[in-house]
Amino acid sequence: MRLIFHGPPGVGKGTQAERISIVKKISHVSSGDLLRAAVDAKTEIGLKAREYIESGLLVPDELIVNIVSDTINSAECEKGFILDGFPRNLSQAKVLDDALENSGKILDRVFSFTAAEEVIIMRISGRRMCKGCGAHYHQVYSPTLKKNICDKCGSDLVQRKDDYPETIKVRLKVYREQTEELIDYYNQKNILVEVNCNGNKADIQQSILAELNSMLKRKSDAE
Ligand code: ADP
């Protein structure tokens, strides 16, 4: 099963990708996480990517397409994957098409997540991350027991620099200008499924799983 979770920053696609990947036993490939790991490890790519990420802009394609292609061709993605945050523009979508075609694989579905802009801003601005173990929290929806201290490892929580309010606005603009058009691209390929993310996490997860299960059933009926 090969899936893309597409949508604006903060819509909740990362949370759903994590949950669905566990249930379906496939890999969760987050381009943002891959880039942040490169930044933390101070690799050549990380050093180049850092400024773009912190200012809310897309990193140049050449910094991300190879890492993602290598990851989806690796053994850990053999059983399938959810791509979260990639592709982010048409040229990345075409690189992905070529990479899949070259290895004889197809994309099963693209889930397009949408939510009202005020919901998105609320979700992003309350987001916090543990600087020790990387666990995710939200000041309103999933707070820690002790303010700003990770429940799991006791380290301090931090806010991603690109989650500051001024940068959120840049990221939403970049999404509208460069990423949103992929909805049409995948709609034309007849693999797009829209997911309304204004509701709660459990209901959203159920609607994605229902779609995947009916897709799998249709596949096995056809065989
Ligand atoms: P979000 O979806 O909440 O914006 P991500 O973790 O997916 O967060 O991405 C964080 C940042 O990493 C982006 O703002 C961008 O700078 C960079 N990034 C992630 N994926 C890509 C990509 N496919 N192409 C270019 N830049 C990317």
According to DSSP, the residues that pair with 83 across neighbouring strands are: 4, 29
Ligand 1 mean position, distance from CA 109 (Å): 20
pLDDT attached to residue 39? 95
CA distance 84 to 66: 15
Task: Say which amino acid occupies 126.
Answer: G
User: Rounded to whole angstroms, what are the CA distances from 167 to 50, 151, 163, 198?
Assistant: 14, 28, 6, 22
- Return the residue matching tokens 């791509």: 83
What digits encode the pLDDT tens for the residues 152-191?
Answer: 999 999 998 889 988 999 999 999 999 999 999 999 999 9
Ligand 1 pocket, residue 162 CB under 6 Å: yes
Residue ranges per domain, the chain? 2-115+167-222, 116-159
Q: What is the DSSP letter of 60?
A: P
User: Rounded to whole angstroms, what are the CA distances from 42 to 39, 46, 125?
Assistant: 5, 5, 26
Report the nearest-CA residue for atom 1 of ligand 1.
9
pLDDT band at 218 (very low <50, low <70, confident <90, very high): confident
Q: Which contiguous run of DSSP H or E holds residue 211?
A: helix 201-222
CA distance 206 to 213: 10
Structure tokens, 33 = 């996480």
What digits encode the pLDDT tens for the residues 64-121?
Answer: 999 999 999 999 999 999 999 999 999 999 999 999 999 899 999 999 999 998 889 9
Report the nearest-CA residue for atom 3 of ligand 1.
9
Report pTM: 0.90
* CATH code for the domain defined by 2-115+167-222: 3.40.50.300
Ligand 1 mean position, distance from CA 58 (Å): 6
pLDDT attached to residue 176? 96
pLDDT attached to residue 202? 93
**DSSP per residue, 127-194:** EEEETTT--EEETTTB--SSTTB-TTT-PBEE--GGGSHHHHHHHHHHIIIIITTHHHHHHHTT-EEE
pLDDT attached to residue 193? 96
Ligand 1 mean position, distance from CA 2 (Å): 20
pLDDT attached to residue 90? 97
* ω into 87 cis (within 30 of 0): yes
